[in-house]
């Protein structure tokens, strides 16, 4: 079962049901260079929303703690999964042992000059880099992208082109959004900031992890649909 087969199933099911943002929306034929992204939260949100993995609906994760407001649009890359291949790459690049994938779709921040007032939407984004982040012993990469055709950020073709202040704001958010003031042990760690080429590799591995994790489910669904037709 390959990604094209999964896309065809998603297209058929989408004629009847609202597609699940994680499984039912295609990552896009030009991935990893151009991605379809599902946005969960935007900078004006004071509550952190995330996809409910079972239903596909947005759910309230938690109110944003203290003054931690996400400085960009934030969401997930459909048809990706942070599993063994993602974790292996993290261990290779960091030299750390015992890392595992966090079992979630790959996270992504999308930079734009525009004010987008709400999440629960899809858009096209171009990856330009990322943060190699560890949450405990779990690989929790954050891909950094720009909104496709954005008049300002669209000029940034790699992460070293982005103003340092923008990167610093994103780093600060991810290093503090789970922390309680006074805590002596940081929960999250950003070990590296990587470029577009490495972001593409992380995305490809997360796609492979997704096929390894969910490809058999898609095959069973295909077989079931074929049986009904026959």
Domains in the chain: boundaries: 3-215
CA dist 101 and 85 (Å) reads 8
State residue 138's pLDDT score. 98
- Pairing of the two strands 138-139 and 100-101: parallel
State residue 215's pLDDT score. 84
State residue 189's pLDDT score. 95
How does DSSP classify residue 106? P
State residue 52's pLDDT score. 95
Express each pLDDT in 82-106 by its tens digit: 999 999 999 999 999 999 999 999 9
State residue 220's pLDDT score. 66
| pLDDT < 70 stretches in the chain | 1-16, 64-67, 180-184, 218-230
State residue 61's pLDDT score. 84
> DSSP for 183-226?
-SS-SEEEEEEEEHHHHHHHHHHHHHHHHHHHHHHHHHHHHHHH
**Domain 3-215 is in which class?**
alpha beta
Q: What is the pTM of this model?
A: 0.88
Express each pLDDT in 36-63 by its tens digit: 999 999 999 988 899 999 999 999 987 7
């Amino acid at each position: 079962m390959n990604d094209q087969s999964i896309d065809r199933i998603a297209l058929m099911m989408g004629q009847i049901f609202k597609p699940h943002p994680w499984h039912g929306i295609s990552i896009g034929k030009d991935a990893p260079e151009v991605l379809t992204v599902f946005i969960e939260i935007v900078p004006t949100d004071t509550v952190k929303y995330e996809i409910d993995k079972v239903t596909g609906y947005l759910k309230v994760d938690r109110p944003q703690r203290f003054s931690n407001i996400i400085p960009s649009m934030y969401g997930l890359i459909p048809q990706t999964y942070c599993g063994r291949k993602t974790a292996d790459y993290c261990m290779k690049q960091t030299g750390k042992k015992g890392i595992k994938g966090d079992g979630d779709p790959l996270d992504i921040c999308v930079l734009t000059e525009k004010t987008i007032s709400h999440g629960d939407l899809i858009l096209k984004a171009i990856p330009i880099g990322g943060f190699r982040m560890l949450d405990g012993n779990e690989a929790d990469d954050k891909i950094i992208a720009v909104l496709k055709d954005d008049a300002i950020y669209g000029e940034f073709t790699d992460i070293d082109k982005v103003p340092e202040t923008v990167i610093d704001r994103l780093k600060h958010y991810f290093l503090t959004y789970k922390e309680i003031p006074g805590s002596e042990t940081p929960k999250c760690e950003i070990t590296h900031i990587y470029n577009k080429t490495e972001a593409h590799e992380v995305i490809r591995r997360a796609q492979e992890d997704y096929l390894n994790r969910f490809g058999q489910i898609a095959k069973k669904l295909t077989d079931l649909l074929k049986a009904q037709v026959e």
